[in-house]
Amino acid sequence: MSGPVRATSPGVPALKLGPLVLEVPVLLAPMAGVTNRAFRTLCRGYGAALYVSEMVTARALIEGNAKTEAMASFGPDEEVRSVQLSGVDPAVMGRAVGRLVDEIGVDHVDLNFGCPAGKVTRQGAGAALPLHRALFRAILRAAVVHAGPVPVTVKLRIGIDAAHTTFLESGRIAEDEGAAAVTLHARTAEQLYSGTADWEAIAALKETVTSVPVLGNGDLWEAADALEDPEALAALEAAMAVSIAAALDALLAARREEGQALSGVLGGLVDRSMREARPGRISASLRT
């Protein structure tokens, strides 16, 4: 287990996930096909504090699937090892988390209850699973028990659609069952990535979940999006952190075409966020 993740942002409130202390509350969110070992290595030199792996399925991990094991592997320079898991069976999830902690030596586990992809939700996983509250609770409980001191966090969507919202009750359950933080992508599964993120929902979640950090996610492409949009700013002041995913991926592609350095993307986000935030404002991190 590693200690605090150090960074040069004096005066910025740290984000605490159980024993992990992230001095820069900016997280690289898990992205399928993107946040592999090479991508995490590239990003680590430019800021942020936590870099989550691609989403892996719990069953494939315990069955020893070679591709899944490769996705859950880490380089010797990765001091903090973070993996996102998806699954629909509490027993399988518990075994997968146990393997991550005992054999692979991870420092953080994130549970995916937010993926809107049809191939995931048709199996009852991802954003579809919180509809089944008892199952959601059982999966989370199994993960927390098998993780021991390793922090377990959850990633949510608002719900399946506008008529079936689940995020507030899911946030309460996650808090009750020992989750170290709750992340909300402020869209429904039906929306996928269309429309606009509802940052008022993130503020509402923070009013509901009071004992652990709430991370906001959705439509933050750069620091100015959070600092100049009144709705997002109000939500971020209530939330504890934000995480970066699709926005970073798209910006990286644009910067590569323009011949600009990655530091202008991630470094600029961190630096400007911290420079422009007024004293006493709770910092925010970006997730998608």
The confidence band for 241, taking pLDDT boundaries of 50, 70 and 90, is low
Q: Does domain 15-276 have CATH number 3.20.20.70?
A: yes
Least confidently predicted of 84-93, 109-118, 143-152, 259-268:
259-268
How far apart are the C-alpha atoms of 17 and 169, rounded to whole Å?
21
Angle, vertex CA 114, rays to CA 102 and CA 109, nearest 5: 15
pLDDT of 70 above 50: yes
Tokens of 265: 């993307």
- Give pLDDT, residue 4: 42
Percent of the chain with pLDDT over 90: 51
Give the 3-state secondary structure of residue 159. strand
pLDDT score of 235 more than 90? no
* Cα–Cα distance, 141 to 212 (Å, whole number): 16
The Cα–Cα gap between 125 and 102 comes to 25
* 50 — pLDDT class (breaks 50, 70, 90): confident
Residue 215 banded pLDDT, cuts 50, 70, 90: confident
Is the pLDDT reported for residue 73 higher than 50?
yes
Model confidence at 242, in pLDDT bands (50, 70, 90)? low
Between residues 136 and 250, which one has the greater pLDDT? 136
Domain ranges of the chain: 15-276
Alpha-helical (H) ranges within the chain are: 37-44, 58-62, 66-71, 90-99, 118-121, 133-147, 167-176, 199-208, 223-228, 230-238, 246-258, 266-276
pLDDT, residue 187, reads: 94
Identify the residue with better confidence: 282 or 162: 162
What pLDDT is stored for residue 226 in this prediction?
Answer: 58
| pLDDT at residue 66 tops 70 | yes
The residue among 169 and 41 whose pLDDT is bigger is 169
Of the candidates 22, 83, 88, 115, the residue annotated as catalytic is 115
144 vs 27, residue with greater confidence: 144
| Residue 259 pLDDT class (50, 70, 90 cuts) | very low
What digits encode the pLDDT tens for the residues 87-130? 999 999 999 999 999 999 999 999 999 999 999 999 999 999 99
Q: Which two tokens stand for residue 52?
A: 């989550």
- pLDDT above 60: residue 194: yes
> Which residue in this structure is represented by tokens 């586990």?
109
* Radius of gyration, alpha carbons of the chain: 17
Element (H, E) at 53: strand 50-57
Going by DSSP bridges, is the β-strand pair 159-161/164-165 parallel, antiparallel, or unpaired?
antiparallel
Q: Quick check: is 43 catalytic?
A: no
Q: Which of 274, 232, 275, 225 is nearest to 251 (CA)?
A: 225
Q: Look at residue 207 in the predicted model and tell me its pLDDT.
A: 92
**145/149 Cα distance (integer angstroms):** 9
DSSP bridge partners of 242: 26, 216
